[in-house]
Amino acid sequence: MEYVVIFEKGENNYGAYVPDLPGCAVVGETLAEVRRLIAEAIDFHIEGLQKAGYDVPQPSFTSPVQEQPGMSSELITAQV
């Protein structure tokens, strides 16, 4: 499955979150670091949901979302 990830640039760092997976968010010093961390976080988040017996939310977006200044988005594939 592919989930939309929202990337935001802060004053001193970058952040990313997955709207379809509440609580799945990361912060890092560089965009490259945040891309790596969010991919790991998505897999970890889904694994935790599955182990706890919860349904894994299906992606609600099929393409990146409209961007605003300081924000970008992309699809990241999760290992489900």
What domains can you pick out in the chain, each with its CATH number?
A: 2-77 (3.30.160.250)
Provide CB contacts within 8 A for 9, sequence distance 6+: 31, 70, 71
What would the two tokens of residue 59 be? 């992606």
Note if the pTM is more than 0.85. no
Per-residue pLDDT averaged across 57-80, rounded?
A: 70
% of the chain with per-residue pLDDT over 70: 79
Per the CB < 8 A criterion, the answer to whether 41 and 26 are in contact is: yes
Q: What are 31-65's pLDDT values in tens digits?
A: 999 999 999 999 999 999 999 999 999 988 766 56
